[in-house]
Amino acid sequence: MSEPQQGNGTPRSGVDDGAHRRLAPRPLDRPGVDPGHAAVFGRPNGVQGAFSTDRPSLNGSNGVHLSPPPPEALSTAFGRPRGTGELLQRPPLDLPGEPEVEPVFWEGKPAGDAWRDPGASAVIGPPAVTEEPEKDEKPRPEPGPQLSVPELLFGRRVKPMGLALLMVAALVVGTAGGVVGWLLGKVGNPLTDGGVTLAEVQPGKERPVGSVADIAKRVTPSVVSIEFKGANVAGVGSGVVIEGGGYILTNDHVVAPAVQDTSAKLTVVFTDGKRAIAQIVGRDPKTDLAVIKVQVDNPTVLQFGNSDDLAVGDAVLAIGSPLSLSNTVTEGIVSALHRPVTAAGENGGPQVTYDAIQTDAAINPGNSGGALVDSSGALVGINSSIRTETGGSVGLGFAISGNYARKVSQSLIRDGQVKHADMNVNVRSASAETAEGAQVENVVEGGAAAAAGIQEKDVITRVGNRIVRNAAELTVAVRDHEIGQTVPVVLAREGRELTVQVTLRSD
């Protein structure tokens, strides 16, 4: 198919003219130059090129400094032939008319050169260079047909004797490999040898300072078991070593049976198994405290803490010998503070009343006289009693305040007895719709209350800074002060509230 023609009838350059001949480029169309543009952008008159000999050079001399001529060897190799003015590109024809047609060189065979025929399709020919096989090289024989398993076993392509020998060889090789592997495994890894016993390794335990394990390790050696045994009595309690001289603080009801039965002996058993006979130093039945002493060298002493610094919710540990199980540690918290506890005295003795710390740490019979320690391992209470309906621990345990127990024990060690502050009145618990307190039943003549003007039927509601809601709270509130100290006492009398100053005396 012929190409479209130009408007003047001249074919476009570089296209087929129908006879598979290559056409020469068409003449250039050079429009005339605008005189205004030539005056602005053209060369000055008389200047033929970009470099003029009459134009001053940059270095101040006249003329243009040209580069030296190239060496003759380079001119011969790369220069134009002498006597010719041909350029790299043939100048276009400026003459009007039909351009010259260059004859083709493939002699009318456009399919012979796909690159010269724009209309020819892409053809992939044979490689430009082919290698001819050497004459001496012999052709390789084609491989024979391969045998499948059914043909090998059932096609009778292999002799039965050869097949049997092949199977025997495979069996021998497999057996030998298994035996060698077993021997290497047994000899090379002693951990799998049946004659080796591996030691069991337990994971490491961390017991940081302040943990229950750390506190128990430090405190337990200072808590002892107290055994009393006589003709008619026997039992086990607990005690705490409070001084290096062998003084042990415990409950009065732990040593009371040994006092009542002269045949009974008190034996102290330490955590390392040492045993020692104890002697009673002093007793205070009103607060259920007692001190005994043993002859022992270098005992572990438990230091007192400040029980007034305790708060509800603080962690505490109870240590003792519940149910004759020595060195028992139970954990709990402070459930309540300043809980007045009363109990009947031993064999008709005076009523027991003390200001208690309530805890839910498990306390059972045998814990009496043992230690209640805080999170630092300091002694803050002496375990004394529980409240239960089953006979066992139900989370209502009571310990005597550590500060009060220290004051009583120091007095017992020093004097063998202790005196308590008292108002010299008998009271009972009373409550009304608007208030509650301790109602005075009778006033001892010549006592502290009589001197202050307290009368029968008065209801005491406060002693010092402590509220009084019942008779037990009045007792512990008064004993919290010293003998001879004057304290304000708030009472209700015939609907009026009065405040009197009472100077406490000894009980």
CA 168 distance to own-chain centroid: 63
Of the candidates 302, 300, 299, 281, the residue with the CA atom closest to the CA atom of residue 290: 281
Segment (H or E) for 239: strand 234-241
Give me the residue label for tokens 């007792």: 475
323 contacts 364 by C-beta, under 8 angstroms: yes
401 contacts 426 by C-beta, under 8 angstroms: no
Give me the residue label for tokens 């003390």: 354
- Phi, psi angle pair for 457, to nearest 5°: 80, -5
Catalytic residue among 16, 288, 360, 374: 288
β-partners of residue 223 are 240
Residue 253 is among the residues annotated as catalytic for this protein? yes
Catalytic residue among 368, 384, 385, 411: 368
3-state secondary structure 459-499: EEEEECCEECCCHHHHHHHHHCCCCCCEEEEEEEECCEEEE
Give me the residue label for tokens 């090789």: 173
261 contacts 233 by C-beta, under 8 angstroms: yes
Residue 420 is among the residues annotated as catalytic for this protein? no
Segment (H or E) for 168: helix 160-188
227 contacts 267 by C-beta, under 8 angstroms: yes
Query: Six-digit token pair at 227?
Result: 């055994």
Catalytic residue among 16, 253, 409, 422: 253
Give me the residue label for tokens 């006249």: 62
- Lay out the sheet containing 223-229: strands in order across: 275-277, 265-269, 223-229, 234-241, 247-250, 289-293, 279-284
Query: Six-digit token pair at 339?
Result: 């809980």
Instruction: Give SS3 for 347.
Output: helix
CA–CA gap between residue 438 and residue 44 (Å, rounded): 134
Query: Six-digit token pair at 107?
Result: 């002699």
Residue 368 is among the residues annotated as catalytic for this protein? yes
409 contacts 249 by C-beta, under 8 angstroms: yes
331 contacts 360 by C-beta, under 8 angstroms: no
Residue 278 per-residue DSSP state: -
Instruction: Give SS3 for 374.
Output: coil
Pairing of strands 234-241, 379-386: unpaired
CA–CA gap between residue 358 and residue 367 (Å, rounded): 14
The rounded radius of gyration (Å) of the Cα atoms in the chain is: 61
Active site members:
253, 288, 368
